[in-house]
Each structure stands twice: as C-alpha cells, then as structure tokens.
Amino acid sequence: MRYLAHKYGADVTGIELTPARVAGAQELTKRVGLQETARVIEGNVLEVPLADASMDAVVSQEAFCHVPDVKKALTEAFRILRKDGRLAFTDWTANEPLTADDAQLMWDGMAIQPLRSISDYCHLVESSGLRVLSATDLTDEWGPILQERLAMYQRLREEARQAGTPTGHDAFHRSYVRFVDLIQQRKLGGIRIVALK
C-alpha cells in the first residue's frame, strides 16, 4: 500500500482483517508521511467495506491462499471495480495435488487453504465476471528467491537461539522448509494474473 502510494503516487486503500495490524499500519503510514494517499481500514475481503464501482484497481500479493472463499473475494473485487478496472494479483498454485500430510502441514504452519492449479485459477477469476488478460507462471522465478528467504529466516532463528530469545513458531518453520522444497520440486508454484472488468 505504502509502496504504491510512494512509488507511483497512487491513492491506495488497504483492507486488513486484524485490528492490531490496522493500528500498526496506520501508525507507520503516518510516520512516513503518506496518510493523505495511503490508508488501511479494518475489513474482510469477503465483505469489502467499500462502495460498488469505487476502485480503479484491486491488487493482492500472495494473500488469496489464506482466504477461505477465494470465489467470494474475487466477486467482491469485481463489485468494487469500476468499468475497465483491473485486478492484479500473485499467489501460490498447486502444479499437482498435495498429499494429505503436506496439506495439513501448510495449514498448521502458514494457514494456507487448499491451493489450485493455474488453469483452475484462471477459470475461477473468469467465473467471477472478470476477463483474464494474462496469467504468468512464476515458479522458476520464485524458487531461488524462496531459497534465499529461507536461509535468511534460518540465520535469524539461529541468532535468536544463541541470544536465548524465542526463535519463532516451530510449525511455521517446518511448513516453510517443506514449502520451499515443494516449490523446488515444482509440485507447488506461483502465478501472476491480470484481469479486466
């Protein structure tokens, strides 16, 4: 939200479910002087607290995988977009079905809902009334980035352990290690979709 406001001068409204995160985002936005063009409001993407046809664009970054009803969230995106408005998002995909154990691990550690294939995602977007303009497979690009992030996270966990402080949630760590492994095996992947109302 702040990046889009700062980099492109966009007037941005962020939707956040957790009240404490709303307060933190508002404080940070004020500290960097973007409160006139960037705001975050408490809300649920399944019932967006914005008027019909009030937005030029809806942007989501790797968030739909945590939403229990992606079809409803996409329908809400359609509702709040103006005519010729665009939806642009990235998310994780399943290039092949996860085992029951892996699916449970992803849920326990990262609250990842069942993932869909790229073609299933495109059909889901179009069933909400939007027209897919592009669907880009990001699996190969994201693989090395995820390996770097995992290595960084593990270094931070070790630093915390050596300092005698909490190292973070073990369930997250276990799921993240497996997640990166599944990406490297191309069993999971990533996508960027741009769609038009």
2 near 34, Cβ under 8 Å?
yes
Each residue of 118-156: b (16+ CB within 10 Å) or e? beebbebbeebebebeebeebbeebbeebeeebeebeee
Instruction: Map out the domains of the chain as residue ranges.
Output: 1-43, 52-196
Tens digits of pLDDT across the chain (197 residues): 999 999 999 999 999 999 999 999 999 999 999 999 999 999 999 999 999 999 999 999 999 999 999 999 999 999 999 999 999 999 999 999 999 999 999 999 999 988 999 999 999 999 999 999 999 999 999 999 999 999 999 999 999 999 999 998 999 999 999 999 999 999 999 999 999 99
Q: Give the chain's end-to-end CA distance (angstroms, integer).
A: 22
The token duo for 25 is 């985002």
Question: 3-class DSSP state for residue 51?
Answer: coil
Q: Report the candidate in 32, 193, 44, 165 with the shortest Cα–Cα distance to residue 14.
A: 44
CATH class of 52-196: alpha beta
Q: What is the CA radius of gyration of the chain?
A: 18
